[in-house]
Amino acid sequence: MKIALVHDYLNQYGGAERVLECFMDMFPDSPVFTVISDLNKMPQRFKEADIRSSFIQNIPFSKNQYKKMLTLFPIAVEQMDLRGYDLVLSSSSAFAKGIITRADQIHVCYCHTPMRYIWDLYHQYMDEISNPVFRTVLPYMLHKIRIWDQMNAQRVDRFISNSHNVARRIQKYYNRESQVIHPPVSFSHLREASSSEDFFLIVSRLIPYKRIDLVIEAFNKLNRPLVIIGDGYDRNRLMKMAGPHIQMLGYQSDAVIQEYYAKCKAFILAGEEDFGITPLEAQAHGKPVIAFGKGGALETVVEGKTGLFFREQTIESLIEAITKLEMLIINSKQIHMHAMSFNEDRFKVEIRNFINTTIREKDFVHV
């Protein structure tokens, strides 16, 4: 079978891109189609791959201003010519699932989430828009994209969701069933856990819905050390909030991140995640997680054994969880073994089995 991979955009490296890497491992001869790419921001693996970007790639300043070209994305995806492939495997949290395939082709979509800024986070997203002109025009743009998104979801033959949390959204917004296959967690760079130091750790993109501001406020009040690794457009605001006990290290390599996982006292996840790979990476190092008790964290953290939940996104609720952690008996080996059950080999087997089942239903050969 000829297989094509499709991904929203390749201009940052996160959990979705790690899923795509696994697909690239499984189907090494398959090209990767994407709306836009900035391979200088991607690991070497992607620079050596067969990446095929849309016409948006050729528009001046598109790498930095691509968000202003939102209304072009559906057109860009629909113009991707995939006629020469038997199976299309898309990795999507936005537009990639909107590709057009023939009736005799199979399209399997691994959905990280329906587009959050047009669905469940729409009003929060609009609250963050300060430009009055853009704020006036944007609702009309997003309304049209919302209609397109719901329609293009019907083009997918079979959906895979990355969590039960996302499966519920797929059912609600697209009225489609999906099979849950949790994302892969890579442990290839795993460092042996060292004795815990007194700092807590965040590894995250710095954007508002991650609620890193809440953690900063809590640690300012506690006067306890906090290390934040990651970058994003919310960085300047967060840096102004951070007190003397808080270090903001910006972007760091995998090697540095693993070192901080190994040394931290505990990991903190304050936002509602679709799934959330970083809490599992911390647990792989035997470190407990304090997480907001909604979304994907409910599927990766075992309360009282591998971490604790705080139930409200308030300073008081988070501080209460931090205090409780001091009394929790930490079994690092148990935490590590829990995380290892989410490994890459498990993911690849489940994906291949799902695809082969789908192919059998269509009377195609196995991959």
- Over residues 75-109, the pLDDT tens digits come to 999 999 999 999 999 999 999 999 999 999 999 99
DSSP 40-97: GGS-HHHHTS-EEE-GGGGSTTHHHHGGGGGGGHHHHHHT---TT-SEEEEEESSSGG
pLDDT at 365 over 60: no
Same domain, 22 and 66: yes
Taking the whole predicted model, whether its pTM rises above 0.75 is answered as yes
Same domain, 132 and 275: no
The alpha carbon of residue 136 and the mean position of all alpha carbons in its chain are separated, in whole angstroms, by 29
Q: Across-strand partners of 202?
A: 228
In a domain, 325, yes or no: yes
Structural domain harbouring 149:
3-184+344-362
In a domain, 193, yes or no: no
Same domain, 143 and 207: no
In a domain, 259, yes or no: yes
pLDDT of residue 271: 93
Same domain, 145 and 277: no
- Asked if residues 270 and 318 have their Cβ atoms less than 8 Å apart, the reply is yes
Any idea what the Cα angle at residue 13 is, between residues 247 and 256, rounded to 5°?
Answer: 40
- Asked if residues 119 and 169 have their Cβ atoms less than 8 Å apart, the reply is yes
Same domain, 20 and 155: yes
The alpha carbon of residue 205 and the mean position of all alpha carbons in its chain are separated, in whole angstroms, by 10
Same domain, 25 and 168: yes
pLDDT of residue 255: 87
pLDDT digits (tens, 9 = 90+) for 6-53: 999 998 888 899 899 999 999 999 999 999 999 988 888 999 999 999
- Asked if residues 277 and 185 have their Cβ atoms less than 8 Å apart, the reply is yes
In a domain, 189, yes or no: no
pLDDT digits (tens, 9 = 90+) for 256-307: 999 999 999 999 999 998 888 899 999 999 999 999 999 999 999 999 999 9
pLDDT of residue 193: 58
pLDDT at 111 over 90: yes
Q: Report the chain's mean pLDDT, rounded to a whole number.
A: 92
Q: Across-strand partners of 110?
A: 91, 160
In a domain, 295, yes or no: yes
- Asked if residues 297 and 282 have their Cβ atoms less than 8 Å apart, the reply is no
**CA-based nearest residue to 63, from 88, 87, 39, 98:** 39
Q: What is the DSSP letter of 359?
A: H
Number of domains in the chain: 2
Same domain, 136 and 207: no
Same domain, 127 and 260: no
Any idea what the Cα angle at residue 313 is, between residues 311 and 316, rounded to 5°?
Answer: 85
pLDDT at 190 over 80: no
Same domain, 213 and 319: yes
> Percent of the chain beyond pLDDT 70?
96
Here the CATH number for the domain that contains residue 86 is: 3.40.50.2000
pLDDT of residue 278: 92
Any idea what the Cα angle at residue 46 is, between residues 1 and 208, rounded to 5°?
Answer: 115
- Asked if residues 223 and 232 have their Cβ atoms less than 8 Å apart, the reply is no
pLDDT of residue 220: 97
Q: What one-letter code names the amino acid at 38?
A: D
In a domain, 192, yes or no: no
Same domain, 219 and 277: yes
Same domain, 237 and 180: no
Question: Residue for token digits 């890459």?
Answer: 344
In a domain, 191, yes or no: no
DSSP 152-207: HGGG-SEEEESSHHHHHHHHHHH---EEE-PPPB--TTPPPP----S-EEEE----
Q: What is the mean pLDDT of residues 326-342?
A: 91
Same domain, 131 and 250: no
Q: What's the chain's length in residues?
A: 367
